[in-house]
Each structure stands twice: as C-alpha cells, then as structure tokens.
Amino acid sequence: MNVPLTTADFCYRALTVHPTRLGIVDEPGFPGSLGRLTYGETMARAAGLIGALEKMGIGHGERVAVISPNAAKLLISLYGVTGGGRVLVPINFRLTSEEAQYIVDDSGAQLLLVDPELDERFADVRAPRRIVLDGIADAELFAPASADDDWPAVEEGAPATINYTSGTTAAPKGVVLTHRSHWLNAAAVGWGFGVSEADRYLHTLPIFHVNGWGLPLGCAALGVPQVIQRDVRGPDILRRVDAERITLLCGAAPVAATIEQAAQALRDAHEPVPGDGTTRMVSGGAPTPPAVIEHFERTTGWEMLHAYGLTETGPVLTVNRVSPSEGLSPSERAERLAAAGAPLLGVRMRVDGEGEILARTAKGMTGYWQQPERTGAALADGWFVTGDGGTFEHGTLRITDRKKDVIVSGGENVSSVQVESVLHDHPDVVDAAVIGVPHDRWGETVKAFVVLRDGVALDETALIAHCRQSLAGFKCPTSVEQRDALPRTATGKLKKYLLRRPYW
Amino acid sequence: MNVPLTTADFCYRALTVHPTRLGIVDEPGFPGSLGRLTYGETMARAAGLIGALEKMGIGHGERVAVISPNAAKLLISLYGVTGGGRVLVPINFRLTSEEAQYIVDDSGAQLLLVDPELDERFADVRAPRRIVLDGIADAELFAPASADDDWPAVEEGAPATINYTSGTTAAPKGVVLTHRSHWLNAAAVGWGFGVSEADRYLHTLPIFHVNGWGLPLGCAALGVPQVIQRDVRGPDILRRVDAERITLLCGAAPVAATIEQAAQALRDAHEPVPGDGTTRMVSGGAPTPPAVIEHFERTTGWEMLHAYGLTETGPVLTVNRVSPSEGLSPSERAERLAAAGAPLLGVRMRVDGEGEILARTAKGMTGYWQQPERTGAALADGWFVTGDGGTFEHGTLRITDRKKDVIVSGGENVSSVQVESVLHDHPDVVDAAVIGVPHDRWGETVKAFVVLRDGVALDETALIAHCRQSLAGFKCPTSVEQRDALPRTATGKLKKYLLRRPYW
C-alpha cells in the first residue's frame, strides 16, 4: 500500500486510541499555561492550529518559527504545524536576538511564535508575522477544533522541521528533518528506550533540542502523559516526579547533577527520593564517567540510560541500556553505561581509518537548508561524518574525542569557531583559540586562549564582557588565558589538542 | 539520507550488537537440526546461504520457495534469502502436494527447499531445483561464511516475501510484502507487544504464517533468543517454557487451549506451572471469548494479549494489551481483552457504511503477485477491504463477523468456496454450502450442507473421504448435513447467515 509515514500517525493514535487519557500537564502559573489537557483536547487544539494557519494563509511547506521554553503550546505546535504539512523551526531560547533573527531570516519563516516570558528578550526579532503565546493566542491559534482523524495529506519526504545547529562554524545551518525521519526516529527511540503505556514522561530536555528526541511523538502514540518542566532545578524536578508519578525523563549531564544533589539532600534528611526504584533517566551528549553514573544511580535509586546522536542524524544514533535483569554489580553497570551504546534499529555505524565515527540511517537529515555544498560534504558516500572520534567494537560505540571544534556546555553545542571569531573582533586580540575544559556542573565549559597586541595586559572580565555583547551566555568563555603565541601546524591550523591536553 | 529500510537492518543489529548472545535453539532430535546457535553463528549461516544462492545462479528478485515446519533453517532462510535481495515464498506445510505445486508454479520459484520430515509427503512437487534441508544441505546451503555487515544493496520497495493466502476463492493469491512492509511491521509489532532484550521467545506460531508476524526480525534486532517448537502439544510447550525460561509466545486459539489443559494437569497435581507470572502469550485470529481468556490467565498465570491482522496488511493491524498496572479485576481484564484491540502505530482503521472493516497502513502489501485486477479491487481508494465486519469505537476494534467466506480452523484460513467446489465435484452432490461452526479446540470447524440427487441418501463418511482426496485435512468438513434446498437470494447468492445462525 502506498501510504506515507508522517508525524500525523502519532497524533492519529493519540486522538483515536487515547482521547481520554491525560496528555499534557503544562507548567502551572505562567502566562499562557494551558493547565491539564487530555490527548483528545491536545489534538483538538492541534487541529485548531491547523485551521488557524490555513486561515492566515500560511501555505503547506512554509515555515513557522517558535522561540519557547518547554510549554504545552510548543508541543501542540509540533503536532499541528507538522501534522498540517507546514515546517516547524524551533529556535534555541538561549540565543541572542541577533542569532534568532538569523534563523528566522534564513529559514524564511512567515510566522514567529514567542513564549510570553521571552517576549521582551526577543522583542526586536522581526518576522512577517509575530504572535506571543499568551492567553490571546489561545483564541487566535489554539482554539479547540473538532479533530477528525483525517489530517491534510503530507508527503513522507517533505520537511517537518528545520533545527538549527551551531556546528563547527559561525553561521548556523538548518538541518532538514522529514516526516520519514521523525517517524523512524520516534519509533526506534520509543522501542529503544523501552517506552510503554505505563510510563509518565517529564519534559526536562528542552523540546527545541532536536524536537525532544522524538519523545513528544512516541509518547503521544502510546498515550503517555507528558509533564512540562520549564526550569531544571533538582528540587523542582523531584517534586514533579513525586506529584506526577514520573517514570521517564531525559537530559544532559547538568540536569542529572542537579537531580542528584537534590536527591542527596533528601537522603541526608532521611526523606524518601521520589521515583526511587521506578524512574529511569536518559542522559545525552558527552559520555558520563562511570563514577558519576554509579553515584547517580545509588543516590537517586533511578536507572540511568545513555543516548548519543546529532541533530543531523535525527538525532538518536545509539542507546546504552543495561537491563537490571543482567544482575551486574553497580560498578560493572556503570562501566558498561559509560559507553555511547548500541546503534538503534536502522542505524549503521563505522569508524574510518582516522578514527572518525560515521553513521548511516534512513532517519538522517535530507540536508542543510538551502546549502547544497555543505550537504554534499556532510553526506559524502552516503555516510554522515559525525566529527566525533571513537571506536565501534562488539556493537558498542565509545566516543573518545570530538574532532570537530564543538564544545558541549550544559547540553548546548558551542561552536569554538564562532567564539574565536568574536574574540578576534576585539581590537586588542591578535590571535584566539577556544576549547572546552571539564566542568563539574556543565560537563564542559568554554576556555579561551588569546594573543594580545604588544604591551597590552589581559583584562579577563573585559574580554568576557565583549563576548557577551554578541553571544548567548552559554557560549561565552568562563576563563581567558594569555599566550605569546598559539600552537599551529605548518599550514596554520590550530593544534588544539596541545591546548586541551593539560585539562583532560 | 537516502537509506532504504530492509530486513538486513535486523540481521545487521543481531550480528554487530548481539553476536555472542543465544540466537536460535533448534528443536533437537530431528534430521537437520542445527542445535543451539548464537546470533553470530546464525548470521554467518545466513551469509553462507547468500553466497550459495549467488553461486547457484539464483538472481536478485528471484523466488525461493520453502516447505517447512518451524526450524532453524526456515528462520535462516528468512534472513538470508530476503537479506540477500531474493524473495522467500513460505508454503503452508498442511497443504496438499497439488496446492503446494500451484504455489511453486505461480510464484515461479527457481528453488524449492523442503524440510527432511516433509520430503516424502511432498516428493512429487516439482521445481527447477529442489533441496532437502537435512545434514547435506548444511554444507551446500548453510555453511557458515564470514558475515560482514555489508550485505547486498536492496531496494526498500522490492518484494521480500510472497505469502499465499486462500482468501475467499479457490485459487490462492500471492501477497507481496516488501522490505518496507517487513521493517515497519517488525518495528510496530516489537514495540506493540513490548518485546525487550530480557525476553526469550518460543516459536509456537508457524513461521510460514505471514513470516511469524515479524517476530523473527524483531527478536534478531534485540538479541532475543528464539526457541523452535515444531509440535504444539501443551505438555511439550510447557517443558520448553520451563527449560528455556520462555517469556513470550504466540498462537491461535487451539494452541492456547492445549497449553491450558497441560497447565491444569499440573495444577491438579499440585505442580508449579512454568512461566507463571513471567510469560505472556499473544493469541491471534478470531477473537477469544472473555470466559476463555479469564480461565487461561487463571490456569497458566500468564498474561494474554490479542492481535488481529491479515496477510495483506503485513499482517498485524491491532493489538490488545491490558497492562497489569491498570489493576483491573480478572473478569474486567478478560472483557477488555476480548476485543481485537487498538491499531498499531502507522495503522488507520475505519468501518464503512455496511459495517465492513477497512485498514490503511504503510506496511500493507503492494499487491497480489501478478494479479493487477484483484490488487486493484482489494486496494480501492487506498484502503484495504478486510472482509471482516466489526465496529471501531473509542480506538478499539471489535470483530463481529467475517464477511468473506473464510473459516478459521486451528489458526488456518479455509476458503469455503474451495471446499464447496470440491463437494460439487462429487457425482451425488447437487448443491453445497460450507460454513464455520464453533469448535472448542480449533476455534471453528468446517461444516457442509449438501443437496443430493433425488433418492440418494447421505453418506457423511464417504463425502468427507471424497474431500480428503483433494484438500488438506484441516479444510475438510468434520460434519455434513443433507438439505432439500439451500437458502439463496434472488440473484442466486447463498444466504449463509441463515445457515450460520443456529450455531453462533
């Protein structure tokens, strides 16, 4: 049968199979909160959004950008914008206005949706139309409509989202993920993470991050309640895990760290830790050291999984889950869990002669938005070049280093090239190199090395302040060191490994 | 990324992620048994098969037919024949030689593989090449070859299997299922049945039955051991569940019935029932009455699920699973489980104005082998007409009657038209009608109504013996009733509902 795979398949199942089940629990008490919605109500609002976009003249295939922390309306936008055949462009809310503007312009978005709490911060971002997602938007965009099961026809190969990645260079690239990509990723992740009807999911992972790794779709298909978490402070998360009986959540290392601290405080006070024995957390991004995993599992009583992937691969490539039924000791478990894990169904991995990890999967991007040359370079020979170094043995991927100059700080990718370019803009800076160095809370933090004009002394605070004028906070160096010269190859390429060596 | 979905994706994962895990436990003690194989050994033999077929000159896209009860070599044929780009045609071993010959001829199979225990029974089935799967075949076809992870390139839309269905008419039709169909079915079934790395699967369901519903692929991807069961007698199954710590199996109503009887015998003898509290069984085919489900779950201590589908839909359309965490009473559970269940991810259902069930899914067949007209009729408007009557409300499908004249006896489809045609061949038979009537062990059994020549008295045994000459045993009537006339519409169509009414 000639039937396309689309994101609407997940919405259809939520609507027809689980209409009375709890769908979304929005964060209470912020302007625009939708409270508690069943999946029937959720998809009725998604249907309302489809009708509203239609009325506004936003055509199929046109882009709708959105700047929002986790919120019910961000999830409903994912369902309604893509399910109705339009393209969602989720923008990282930690970017500056200028960076957001670049993405709105580059994607050619006809409409920009902005969370009410971010309205002021992004007041100067221009788009043909701009709507703040407060109570007024409810009537205009998210009014429930009768949702039948027959959404607009959409092609499997049509773009569903464009997610911008900072990558290795200053100008962000729009990663085009199709309906096919979303479908296959959500199914492989749902099965791979062991998501079941009995789960209750907490959105600690920012949904704009590669569309919440497919879990917003997978949870909808299974009728798994999705609880919105805007702030990722440990005590708040544990309260939510307790109140909403959460069994599953995802996040980068800093989120795990704040949860562990809050859990330790409860243990110290001889209080029970919510989710002890029932909750699992998938950590993403850089591999977590075994000692950290073991400590996390012991303190929380939760099961830890690990996932690895890139925006370009849809995103999840590998999952590491060690079944408690294997009966390993805590330290053996932790040792195993420190790897990136095994490829998901439909993902092939290999490591080339230079130790660089390549991936090939039907759920990967079709390319970078309007960048055929960069697309061609990234997908040479049909394999995506991850830019990470590692080994793939016995079906297990281990990341040993990140070849591309990407620093992962607090779960966010920072392009060292972009930061270096800003440093170079400073009148006193002659040369600059930026690396990631280990950081207890953020995994990595940004460190800069600069060569200054003759006779100028380093003013660390002033240089960091200079970066803050053009860069999101998480991209700015937290320390700057002065050098007489930077180590370079004969062809002028920075030998960053020499700079990194003392720190790793 | 332009990457096809193929059955080799599942083999790749078994080979790279789980090479040392137990893959197949063949039934011991039959000629040609392969014993116990890891997934590495399993896929090495599949690679050997690919090389052997290549050497024999069987081209990509050519058909390989196989007649076999459950056996390791049948599974390996599924992996190797399809993974290497050829088309597997699994033949129901309960058919007659004539019926099997029709399928070999219609599919144009270049090679016929026959299980050693069936060699004699199917001795007269001709094919360009015929190989018996005994020890000699091991060297010729299944010698382990070094299995690298790079199997031949195969198109997503290329046929992987052709499964013949008796359907409503005498001539069986070849249902073409592509690699895409297999992939999507195996993933949706695997996730929908909740298959996990901790499972151990018992092949009680005949693997030739729509390729074991996708579980041979899903289990391989997850490294789930697959234990072969050739005979489906309750005591044998329970011994196997015990010895191999089985957690999952599938089967039609008669298999559940024989398991329940064996479990009851253990209970009566105050012996523990293997799998009590850990095993789940998926029943397929006709819906099971609530009382039967409740009794089965109480006697075995197993969890029962139900699945519904057709060969043409890949096969599984709906799954009914009631999570124990819902805390329903045994009778409430059984009441819920008596429905066909909820559509799997990627499956849409509706019921037309006449109460007939329609399905639409990307994993459905591309059509009937070399039958464009019948294909066009079956897939009119892009929906597959199931031929079953029912309701689809609150996301739950309930089967109320089978509109097409298919009788499901012991999990096998029997075409009443085919049986009627054989009855009509008898010199004394003037008119004939065949229906299914309820049967404790087989679900349904075949019952015939005949109008005989004037003055001839019914000889039930002789008429049944007449049928046995041309039909597989499970298709023959188990009772025959004489009538003066059969109820027909004005246009001459049999009013079978009048015949069925007293029995249902």
Q: What is the 3-state secondary structure (H, E, C) of B140-179?
A: HCCCCCCCCCCCCCCCCCCEEEEEEECCCCCCCEEEEEEH
Residue type, A396: T
Instruction: Let me know whether B104 and B139 are in one domain.
Output: yes
Give a yes or no: residue A485 inside a domain: yes
Instruction: Let me know whether B390 and B458 are in one domain.
Output: no
Q: Is A380 on the interface with B (CB under 8 A)?
A: no
| φ/ψ bin of A334: left (φ > 0), alpha (ψ from -120 to 50), beta (otherwise) | alpha
Give the residue from B376, B402, B428 where a domain finishes.
B402
Measure the CA–CA gap between A442 and A255, rounded to whole angstroms: 9
**Alpha-carbon torsion (A474, A476, A479, A485), positive or negative:** positive
Instruction: Let me know whether B485 and B396 are in one domain.
Output: no
Q: What is the pLDDT of residues A131-170, one digit of tens each?
A: 999 988 788 899 999 877 678 889 999 999 999 986 445 5
Report which secondary-structure segment, H or E, holds B345. none
Q: Is B456 on the interface with A (CB under 8 A)?
A: no
Give a yes or no: residue B339 inside a domain: no
Give residue A408's pLDDT.
Answer: 84
Per mean pLDDT, which range of A149-153, B30-34, B64-68, B317-321 is the poorest?
A149-153
Rg (CA), chain B: 22
Q: What is the pLDDT of residues B250-295, one digit of tens each?
A: 998 778 989 999 999 999 999 999 999 999 999 987 667 788 899 9
Give residue B267's pLDDT.
Answer: 97
Q: Is A342 on the interface with B (CB under 8 A)?
A: yes
Give the residue from A382, A402, A422 where a domain finishes.
A402
Of B1, B9, B190, the CB nearest to A191: B190
pLDDT tops 80 at residue B401? no
Of A149, A197, A395, the CB nearest to B323: A197
Give a yes or no: residue A460 inside a domain: yes
Instruction: Let me know whether A428 and A485 are in one domain.
Output: yes
Q: Helix, strand or coil for residue B58?
A: coil
Give a yes or no: residue B196 inside a domain: yes
Angle between helices A416-424 and A460-468 (to 10 degrees): 110
pLDDT band of residue B404 (cuts 50, 70, 90) is: low
Instruction: Let me know whether B41 and B92 are in one domain.
Output: yes
Measure the CA–CA gap between A433 and A407, rounded to whole angstroms: 12
Q: Is B221 on the interface with A (CB under 8 A)?
A: yes
- Spatial contact of A303 and A288, defined as CB atoms under 8 Å apart: no
Instruction: Let me know whether B470 and B367 are in one domain.
Output: no
Contact A361 B2 (CB under 8 A): no
Q: A89-119 in b/e burial notation, b at 16+ Cβ within 10 A? A: bbbbbebbeebbbbbbebbbbbbbbbbbbbe
| Chain B residues with CB-CB distance to A365 below 8 A | 1
Give a yes or no: residue B353 inside a domain: yes
Instruction: Let me know whether A441 and A498 are in one domain.
Output: yes
pLDDT tops 80 at residue B490? no
pLDDT tops 50 at residue A111? yes
Q: What is the arithmetic mean of pLDDT over B456-477?
A: 93
Measure the CA–CA gap between A87 and A146, rounded to whole angstroms: 22
Instruction: Let me know whether B33 and B111 are in one domain.
Output: yes
Give a yes or no: residue B445 inside a domain: yes
Strands B316-320 and B342-343: antiparallel
Instruction: Let me know whether B413 and B359 are in one domain.
Output: no
Largest CA distance in chain B: 74
Q: Of B345, B358, B393, which to mutate for an interface test with A (greatest number of A Cβ within 10 Å)?
A: B345
Number of domains observed in the structure of chain B: 3
Give residue A403's pLDDT.
Answer: 61
Nearest CA in chain A to B375: A1
Give a yes or no: residue A254 inside a domain: no
pLDDT tops 70 at residue A374? yes
Of A12, A197, A361, the CB nearest to B3: A361
Angle between helices A72-83 and A39-55 (to 10 degrees): 60
Work out the percent of chain B whose per-residue pLDDT is above 90: 72
Give a yes or no: residue A83 inside a domain: no
State the residue range of the domain holding A378: 347-402
| φ/ψ bin of B275: left (φ > 0), alpha (ψ from -120 to 50), beta (otherwise) | left
Instruction: Let me know whether B174 and B31 are in one domain.
Output: yes
Q: Which residues, in sequence order, are CB contacts of B450 under 8 Å at separation 6+?
A: B423, B429, B430, B431, B432, B458, B463, B480, B481, B482, B483
Quote ipTM for the complex.
0.87
**Bridge partners for B132 per DSSP:** B114
Give residue A168's pLDDT.
Answer: 47
Residue A478 has which token pair?
């937290």
CATH number, domain of A375, equals 2.30.38.10
- Spatial contact of A7 and A182, defined as CB atoms under 8 Å apart: yes
Work out the percent of chain A whose per-residue pLDDT is above 90: 72
pLDDT tops 90 at residue A366? yes
Q: What is the pTM of this model?
A: 0.87
Instruction: Let me know whether B60 and B208 are in one domain.
Output: yes
CA A27 to chain centre: 19
First CA to last CA distance, chain B: 54
Query: Average per-residue pLDDT in chain B?
Result: 92
Q: Nearest 5°: phi and psi at B135?
A: -60, -30
Instruction: Let me know whether B374 and B417 are in one domain.
Output: no
Q: What is the arithmetic mean of pLDDT over A325-339?
A: 90
Give the residue from A357, A377, A402 where a domain finishes.
A402
Contact B12 A321 (CB under 8 A): no
Contact B323 A13 (CB under 8 A): no
